[in-house]
Amino acid sequence: MRSKFLFQLRTLGLLAAAVSEIRLSTSLARADGYTFAQYSQATGNNQWTISASGNTTKISAAGSVFFSFLEVPGAPAGPQFANFALSETSTTSGTTDGNAYSEAGFSGAFSFTDTALPAGEQNLLSGIFQFDLTGAQLNESIGGSGGGFGASDTSTDLQEVVMSSCFISSFAGQTEETATFSFSSLVPSNFTAGGPYSAAAVGTFSSNPGFVTPEPTTFSLIGCGALLLGLGSLRRKGVSGS
């Protein structure tokens, strides 16, 4: 009986250690931020257009995509076939060092909608880029076929990108939010300021501390509950066996 009791006590100790490890890893995950959604094009066609006329640069995109939430409770599981639309404009002059081109000051909107869902659930994710301090930014390698576009909020400036979703009740409480699009297959393939150009793209959307990771205290309560139940069981067995 004593050896069985020690085995059960050791098992509870391992459970407590596992709970502690989960709590630690959860805390680290929250500190590092969380990618809560991503998308890729449903076809290989270039969906993006970049063009400049005078001091105005326009970026637009439209087409069918696969949009996926990453572990957002209550959100559709797996890739969702969605309609993507984006329209952005900047009148800020770009800069170049001969190797790279950068232009900030973009403002506009983007959206991912799934019309196969009920009317109140079709907005998978939408957002507004605002020219508050820097706006969204275009980055390209001179002579290259790729690049990037997007904006990030920080705790001191939460207005550069404002996002909403039918499956995320609120973005309040986030200290950092990022919407990033990565270009490939640029046509023509040797970027210089101007255009027009077309491109394919993928995108990721992240926040800090995230929306789905339980508070570390939740794991503590789970762990304490498991330990108390286990100790109660051992006490009952000890009493009955004495």
- Sign of dihedral through CA atoms 191, 195, 197, 203? positive
- Same domain flag for 83 and 200: yes
- pLDDT tens sequence for the chain (242 residues): 545 444 443 443 443 444 334 333 333 333 346 899 999 999 889 999 999 888 899 999 999 999 999 989 899 999 999 999 999 999 998 888 888 899 999 999 999 999 999 998 999 999 999 887 788 999 988 888 889 999 887 766 667 899 999 999 888 778 888 999 999 999 987 777 677 999 999 999 998 877 654 444 433 333 334 333 443 443 444 444 54
- Same domain flag for 27 and 115: no
Q: What is the pLDDT of residues 165-194, one digit of tens each?
A: 999 988 877 888 899 999 999 998 777 767
If we measure between CA atoms, which residue out of 97, 67, 50 comes closest to residue 166? 67
- Same domain flag for 219 and 202: no
Half-sphere CA count of 110, side-chain side, radius 13 A: 31
- Same domain flag for 198 and 90: yes
Q: What is the pLDDT of residue 156?
A: 64
- Same domain flag for 79 and 20: no
- Same domain flag for 95 and 165: yes
Q: At what angle do helices 2-32 and 216-241 cross, to 10 degrees?
A: 180
- Same domain flag for 48 and 100: yes
- Same domain flag for 15 and 109: no
pTM over 0.85: no
Q: What is the pLDDT of residue 6?
A: 41
- Same domain flag for 187 and 237: no
Instruction: Report the number of distinct structural domains present in the chain.
Output: 2
Map tokens 């009955």 to a residue: 240
Q: Which domain holds residue 78?
A: 34-208
- Same domain flag for 168 and 111: yes
If we measure between CA atoms, which residue out of 192, 196, 199, 197 comes closest to residue 96? 192
